[in-house]
Amino acid sequence: MKQTISATRIFTGESYLSDYAILIEHDRIVELKPLSQIDTHAESFHFFDGLLCAGFIDLQVNGGGGLLFNDQPQVQTLYTMAEAHRSFGTTSILPTLMSDSPEIMAKAIHAANAVHALKPSQLLGIHIEGPFFNVAKKGIHNEKYLRQLTTDDIEILAKAEGTRLLTLAPEKTAVDLIKQLSELGYQVWAGHSNADADSVNQAIAAGLSGFTHLYNAMSMLSAREPAMLGSALVTDHCWASVIADGHHLHPTSLQIAMRCKPAGKLLLVSDAMSTVGTDGADFQLDGQTIYAVDGVLKNAQGTLAGSAISLLDAVNYVQDALAVEEAEAIRMATMYPAQAMGLTDQLGELKPGYKANIIHISDKKVCHTWIDGQMKKHIEG
């Protein structure tokens, strides 16, 4: 099937175009060309308001549509999560499993493999967040599951397909295992860690390539110990994700990170839980009630428990609270996550040959999305 899509503005990831259209054939972008040169026989969609850009890519999605991946590590759970986030412009997700048992990890990998085989540009693979953490920085993760990474775990992890991200505490993990995971094709990132700078730097030398939810659940910079935060801020080639919801980070802290990290190395994630795409005010996580109050999720003790935002909320937040330019805010949710995961030949920009994962935004709301060239209408616009 051939179709053309146009709007007032098109943002390719590098520049803005006006009076242009995107030509799609089957699941790929074929060409971007002036409206005056468009074949009128192709199915056409023209939007007089708003912006077309690449679909958002969220590397940390714990749940959505009322479901949590940990609770139900099944194929249908992942489809429900993906569709809930699609309504907010996220056309590609990395389903995220929080710290759990080896049995649940194996089930989650099996489910992620199954959906990735069918919808590889929407369900990218899997993010294993824990359980290889430091209990001192466990956050909301259940302490009973926390342990050190072993060769038996690597046998389970090696079965994952597609994009694979693993968050671990470097001080709790042998550097040779980090190297082994990196050689298997995993992106190994640091998080939920109390590591000193030396431990972090040894892990980086072994293949560690990024940091999960910068500032949160990691050792803090001080005068005589750079710790994990210091290493993350000064290691230019490493990526760092941030949860820009106004609760996980003070705006000034986020500004500091944006000034320290080279352009393109700081990216947005939602860390979303089951409430995204629902009206739910609370849910259960490992036997404790998590409450949604004023846009933030916490347990009874006040510990942050993931987030209640979509990636669209984060894109809008950095523009409104930090005056980040629209183009950069979009890149932080599209181009940069694609680069971090090695997907730059197919996702994150609007270019010929790339997957037709596209969103139409008007008044900071998502009106339409395309995944593999298939359109879905969300709201009028």
Residue 361 to residues 48, 49, 271, 358, 366, Cα–Cα distance (Å): 11, 8, 22, 10, 5
pTM confidence score? 0.97
pLDDT band per the 50, 70, 90 thresholds, residue 42 = low
CATH number at residue 323: 3.20.20.140
Question: Residue 123: pLDDT above 80?
Answer: yes
Do 46 and 64 lie in one domain? The reply is no
Do 229 and 364 lie in one domain? The reply is no
Question: Residue 41: pLDDT above 70?
Answer: no
- 130: domain range? 56-340
In tens, the pLDDT along 134-175 reads 999 999 999 999 999 999 999 999 999 999 999 999 999 999
Do 77 and 46 lie in one domain? The reply is no
- Mark whether 27 is an active-site residue: no
pLDDT band per the 50, 70, 90 thresholds, residue 282 = confident
Q: Comparing 5-14, 63-72, 106-115, 286-295, which segment has the lowest mean pLDDT?
A: 286-295
Do 246 and 299 lie in one domain? The reply is yes
Question: Residue 380: pLDDT above 80?
Answer: no
In tens, the pLDDT along 210-267 reads 999 999 999 999 999 999 999 999 999 999 999 999 999 999 999 999 999 999 999 9
Measured between alpha carbons, how far is 155 from 141 in angstroms, rounded to an integer? 23
In tens, the pLDDT along 82-100 reads 999 999 999 999 999 999 9
- DSSP letters spanning 179-210: HHHHHTT-EEEE-SB---HHHHHHHHHHT--E
Do 110 and 7 lie in one domain? The reply is no
Q: At 364, is the secondary structure helix, strand, or coil?
A: coil
Total domain count, the chain: 2
Do 84 and 50 lie in one domain? The reply is no
Do 65 and 130 lie in one domain? The reply is yes
Do 227 and 336 lie in one domain? The reply is yes
| Averaged confidence pLDDT in the chain | 95
Measured between alpha carbons, how far is 256 from 254 in angstroms, rounded to an integer? 5
Question: Residue 279: pLDDT above 90?
Answer: no
Give, for 234, the enclosing helix (H) or strand (E). Answer: helix 227-234
pLDDT band per the 50, 70, 90 thresholds, residue 305 = confident
Do 98 and 245 lie in one domain? The reply is yes
Predicted local confidence at residue 288, as pLDDT: 87
CATH number at residue 365: 2.30.40.10
Do 45 and 94 lie in one domain? The reply is no
Q: Comparing 118-132, 163-177, 293-307, 335-349, which segment has the lowest mean pLDDT?
A: 293-307
Q: Within 10 A of 319 (CB to CB), how many other CB atoms are there?
A: 17
Predicted local confidence at residue 175, as pLDDT: 97
The single residue of 58, 100, 153, 271 carrying the catalytic annotation is: 271
Do 196 and 312 lie in one domain? The reply is yes
Question: Who's near 328: CB < 8 A, 6+ residues apart?
Answer: none
> What would you report as the CA-atom Rg of the chain, rounded to the nearest whole angstrom?
20
In tens, the pLDDT along 180-215 reads 999 999 999 999 999 999 999 999 999 999 999 999
- Calculate the CA dihedral of residues 74, 162, 81, 135 and round it to 10 degrees: 80
Do 188 and 97 lie in one domain? The reply is yes
